[in-house]
Amino acid sequence: MNFLEERILKDGIVKPGNVLKVDSFLNHQMDVELIDEIGREFHRRFKHKNITKVLTIEASGIGIACAVARCFGVPMVFAKKSKSINIDGDVYVAQVESFTHKTQNNVIVSKRFLGPDDHLLIIDDFLANGCALQGLISISENAGATVEGLGIVIEKGFQIGGRVIRNLGYHLESLAIIESMDGENGTLTFAPQNN
């Protein structure tokens, strides 16, 4: 079991509705030592790629993506959620359905910060149905950038996102893959990993 799986078992809370709460260490209160370790682990897995920028989505991806970007020595860009329907031509835009809130958000990135010379590592905290990642991939493609890989902290392997993204041919690495989750008695199991 790796450092993250151990922490999930210790402090994660399985909720009904296939939701895992990790707000005591990952996405509300943040254990910055753990976040740094996550950054180093993604660097280890993607260091052979020529990454020029790390891309994520607000809000909970930001802290993690910063730790990753520091390891690569590159900038981090985050897609902003925008309520505005009057989006000007200076931004790339994608529609993303929120897994937790079931709402549609426009997410935007300024054209000043992504372009055809960029080789991106896309980072997020969770992967469920893959809407957030698909939105970030779409923004990257619109910018003409190359998606070198995607790094997820916790993939819920029983939901379709991971399969969809891997079937599209992307290199996706998840530090913990949850195989099953039982909201009734609060238990979970991990898929075996060979990393």
Residues binding ligand 5GP (CB under 6 A) = 19-22, 27, 60, 99-100, 124-132, 161
Please report how close the Cβ of residue 48 comes to ligand 5GP at its closest, in angstroms: 26
Helix %, strand %, coil % for the chain, to 5? 30, 35, 35
Please report how close the Cβ of residue 2 comes to ligand 5GP at its closest, in angstroms: 19
Is 34 within 8 Å of 5 (Cβ atoms)? Answer: no
Identify which of residues 20 and 69 has a Cβ nearer to ligand 5GP in the complex.
20
Identify which of residues 90 and 184 has a Cβ nearer to ligand 5GP in the complex.
184
Identify which of residues 72 and 78 has a Cβ nearer to ligand 5GP in the complex.
78
Identify which of residues 39 and 161 has a Cβ nearer to ligand 5GP in the complex.
161
Please report how close the Cβ of residue 89 comes to ligand 5GP at its closest, in angstroms: 26
Please report how close the Cβ of residue 88 comes to ligand 5GP at its closest, in angstroms: 26
Instruction: Give the span between the Cα atoms of 2 and 146, in whole angstroms.
Output: 30
Cis, bond preceding 143 (omega within 30 deg of 0): no
Identify which of residues 13 and 87 has a Cβ nearer to ligand 5GP in the complex.
13
Identify which of residues 86 and 185 has a Cβ nearer to ligand 5GP in the complex.
185
Please report how close the Cβ of residue 50 comes to ligand 5GP at its closest, in angstroms: 26
Please report how close the Cβ of residue 12 comes to ligand 5GP at its closest, in angstroms: 9
